[in-house]
Structure 1
Amino acid sequence: MPQFEYTIPTLIDLIGQRSWLIFHLLRCISREIEWMQFESSHWEKFEDYRFLRDIINGLEVVNDSAERGVKLITDFRNVVHDEEQQQFLVQFVENHRQQVSFNRRKQQLG
């Protein structure tokens, strides 16, 4: 059986040319970003890099869609007992929730 090595990526591994969104979202664009002009092995020397790293490391990561799916199934599992009907009901409720959410957002824009 083949052996696979798995290494957990660090923040340095995840930053590239398309990473500007995080700076806009965190309102850090006014901070110095000169550390991005250097080799990633030197980024730890820059206070602004460490500031952003600490913010990102402090974010709680959740699998929101999986949690919603489990909640949806547990909310409606006792309504019907046939497997096919359960699947249909879950799909129907999820579709309805997406429609309501879309319409609510659309009204807020108007």
Structure 2
Amino acid sequence: MAQTKLNVVDDSLESQISELRSQIASLSKSVSSRAGAISEEASDFVDEAKGRVQRAAHSAAETVKAQSQNVVEAVRENPATATSVLTVVGALGFALGYFVANASTQHKSSSLYRWR
């Protein structure tokens, strides 16, 4: 009697394990197919983004090239003006650097700095 109950339980467990295995196999196939679809979508997205970045980089390069040609033409047409502008910009840069360095030196020699 006890042996037949054990056989019934054993058969029941085996059938449940078998059913679980088939469900796991089914889920595995489902996940695999979904992963493949997601992988394809991600690949398409990456390809599209790559194309957009390349087009934007090409467009930016063309814009920079055109602007630099405009600057070169302006300098060729007005060499004196270009020299004056560069001289003024250089002088302003030197003056700004001088004042920043001077302010930095004065800050270090202040009385607050000595007491720290």
TM-score category (smaller protein): under 0.3
**Higher helix residue share:** 2
What TM-score do the two structures reach when normalised by structure 1? 0.27
What TM-score do the two structures reach when normalised by structure 2? 0.26
Higher relative contact order structure (alpha carbons within 8 Å, sequence separation ≥ 6) = 1
